[in-house]
Amino acid sequence: MTEPNRNTAALLAALALLFAQGPASAQLVTRFEAGAVSSSSAGVVPFNAFSLTPDVRYNGRLVDFAAHGSAWLAGNDWQFADGDASATFTSPTRKHVSVQLMADASRAYYDAVNQNDQVEARARVHLIFSQKGGMWLESGVARPWRVAVVSSVDVAGAGAWTTLGDATITGTLTNFSFTRIAAADDSTGTLQSCTALADPGSCLRQSHFSDVQGSVHWEHAAFEVDAQTGYRFGDATDVTDDSRRWASATAVVWVSPEMALVVGGGRQPANPARGLPARNYAHLGAMFAAWPAMSSGAVPVEAQGSGISRFEIAAAGASLQRVQVRVIGVHRVEVMGDFTDWQPVAMVQRGRDLWEALVPIAPGVHQMDVRVDGGKWLPPPGTPTMRDGFSGEVGVLVIQQ
Amino acid sequence: MRRGTHGAVSALLALCMAAPLGLLAQGSDPLAQLDATTRHVVQVLMDSARSEGLPTQPILSKAQEGISKHVDGPRIAAAVRTVFLSLRGARTSLGAQAAPEELKAGAFALQAGIPEGALQGLHKASHGKSVTVPLIVLTDLVTRGVPSDTASNAILQLWTRGAGDADLLGLPKAVGQDILSGAAPGDALLKRARTIPLRPPGKGSE
């Protein structure tokens, strides 16, 4: 076998290992947003366009893939705008610790002048205190193209999150460090500090700045709101006045499980590492979500804190039971019981708040638990409960003949 | 460098091949992840249950549950021993003719601390009806903090006066809501029990 073939085989084997988690845990969700977008850089006339924004996510047990893009109709011409593809590996949580590895390739497009591409890799170590909060440390590196940055961008940061009722509050501190080409002197003619001269008129300059950002995600019934605000630390040569502070918000109203109205706007700070200026933006549109069909036989805090608002089980054929859970704003729901030999089975998201699994449960008395986002195993709400002998509880099901 | 790459690829392929084999091995022996002592305890208890004519599945299931919940061996051993003893106690209380599901429900009740006398009371009043649901509801109520004698008397009275399985299965949620609202568990049960329409025994009592 030649060297390239060996490497290909190794790559395929690694992919096989990742996907060997089984189809039971697979989750494919597609979304499509159509609407009007308006944006402007400081002092520039607003740019208005009709935009189409497709979004595809594949959530496996350990690996998630996501891709989204946007295309703008400005005048009579379509313009492919932003695009992003990412893969995230998340390890199972053991003793409150989880590790995330993220790889991302993106294209940013503001206008004909301000556009470039970037690849990025980050690693995060999460410390999860409970389903109510946690924190993380992260480090990574990014490499932009077609921009006056001559080094990789080193990224280091930390974050913390907590839940309060229906809201999740997150705070982050992220530091960026990179080398860029800058003018050798400023507008007053004062010579700038340079690590080296690139040419007589410009120099290589070490830049760094830090972003502190707070964000809130709130979901209740058919409403979702995301809002964030931030402040940037750094000297005047790295941070322009128009990027010291920013704020933005987006509201989503679901008119059906498959369709929502989206409205949002705010100020986006400059991205010096990618040479993108600050801008104001507003958008108004409709979002369409497609959830996977449930094929026959396909299976992937405290009780009040699990967030599960409803649990139902009903016959779905000769030997299958359809287990349904309604819970909002979570990423993973699993069920296990004596009917699965106590092996977790990932439920499939069938709607914004609806998760479902088809499992073979024979008539009789069974014990089971449900887990949300890798948290504590808990009895489903509304079922009789009993202690499990391991300092936890289980729900008891009675499946009639 | 070339040798290093080759080695890494070989190791990765070996890992890929070993992972499914490991899963297969676990599939063939559900107790493979237990330490030798705990595994021995589980196997001995299953043998004992088999020889006494008791169901073995609840014992195996409790061990599997402990494995999935990352419980240490000694606690799993203690839990499966409790399951075995409660199955034995349930059969003593419910009689040799008790169905496997009744034995499981009886074992749940004994694990919750309900005295054997309460099981015997339900068994005597059963007149051939399954005691599975009353025992499960009784277990839930005691788990929620209702005093054992209060719960036993209430369920026995409701059941003998014709309350159906659906009526009884609705009690835990309703009582749980009252407890969350601040009611004492025993009072919550007595209040909710009064709302259940009773039927003459033997008519429409499922």
Flag the least confident range among A72-76, A114-118, A278-282, B73-77. A72-76
A9 vs B9, B82, B112: nearest CB: B9
Say if the ipTM goes beyond 0.95.
Answer: no
Cβ(B106)–Cβ(B94) under 8 Å? yes
Chain A touched by B160 (CB under 8 Å): no
Number of H helices, E strands in chain A: 1, 24
Cβ(A161)–Cβ(A128) under 8 Å? no
Question: How far is C-alpha B155 from the chain's CA centre?
Answer: 19
A182-197 average pLDDT score: 63
Distance CA A344, CA A325 (A): 15
A401 C-beta neighbours (distance < 10 Å), count? 5
Answer yes or no: is pLDDT of A231 > 50.
yes
More confident: A93 or B176: B176
Structure tokens belonging to residue B7: 């080695």
Distance CA A368, CA A377 (A): 9
Which amino acid is residue A67, in one-letter code? A
Tell me the β-bridge partners of A349.
A355
Task: Measure the CA angle with vertex A87, ends A83 and A93; round to 5°.
Answer: 140
Residue whose C-alpha is closest to residue A118's, from A106, A134, A101: A106
In this prediction, residue A207 has a pLDDT band, given cuts at 50, 70 and 90, of: confident
- Inter-chain residue contact A389 with B82, CB threshold 8 Å: yes
**Nearest-Cα residue of chain A relative to residue B75:** A390
Chain B touched by A7 (CB under 8 Å): yes
Which amino acid is residue A392, in one-letter code? G
**Nearest-Cα residue of chain A relative to residue B11:** A10
In this prediction, residue A201 has a pLDDT band, given cuts at 50, 70 and 90, of: low
Cβ(A157)–Cβ(A125) under 8 Å? no
Cβ(A20)–Cβ(B20) under 8 Å? yes
Q: What's the burial of A250, exposed, middle or buried (CB within 10 Å: 0-12/13-18/19+)?
A: middle
More confident: A96 or A18: A96
Flag the least confident range among A257-271, B12-26, B55-69, B160-174. B12-26
Answer yes or no: is pLDDT of A14 > 60.
no
Distance CA B29, CA B17 (A): 19
- Inter-chain residue contact B15 with A17, CB threshold 8 Å: yes
A39 C-beta neighbours (distance < 10 Å), count? 19
B136 vs A14, A381, A384: nearest CB: A384
Residue whose C-alpha is closest to residue A121's, from A152, A159, A161: A152
Instruction: Give the pLDDT confidence score for residue B25 in this predicted structure.
Output: 42
- Inter-chain residue contact A9 with B173, CB threshold 8 Å: no
Tell me the β-bridge partners of A325.
A311, A355
pTM for this predicted structure: 0.62
Distance CA A294, CA A4 (A): 40
Q: Could you report the per-residue pLDDT of A336-354, keeping only the tens digit for each?
A: 999 999 999 999 888 888 8
A196 C-beta neighbours (distance < 10 Å), count? 8
Q: What's the burial of B58, exposed, middle or buried (CB within 10 Å: 0-12/13-18/19+)?
A: buried
Q: Could you report the per-residue pLDDT of B1-27, keeping only the tens digit for each?
A: 344 445 554 444 444 444 444 444 445
Helix (H, G, I), strand (E, B) or coil at A368: strand
Instruction: Give the pLDDT confidence score for residue A109 in this predicted structure.
Output: 83
Contact residues, chain A, for B18 at CB < 8 Å: none
Q: Indicate the DSSP class of residue A54.
A: E
- Inter-chain residue contact B79 with A3, CB threshold 8 Å: no
B30 C-beta neighbours (distance < 10 Å), count? 17
Please compute, for residue A249, the number of CA atoms within 13 A of its CA located in the half-sphere on the CB side. 6
A10 vs B12, B67, B71: nearest CB: B12
Distance CA B160, CA B162 (A): 5
Q: Could you report the per-residue pLDDT of A243-288, keeping only the tens digit for each?
A: 899 999 999 998 877 788 999 999 999 888 888 888 888 989 888 8
Residue whose C-alpha is closest to residue A329's, from A246, A216, A241: A216
Distance CA A165, CA A307 (A): 10
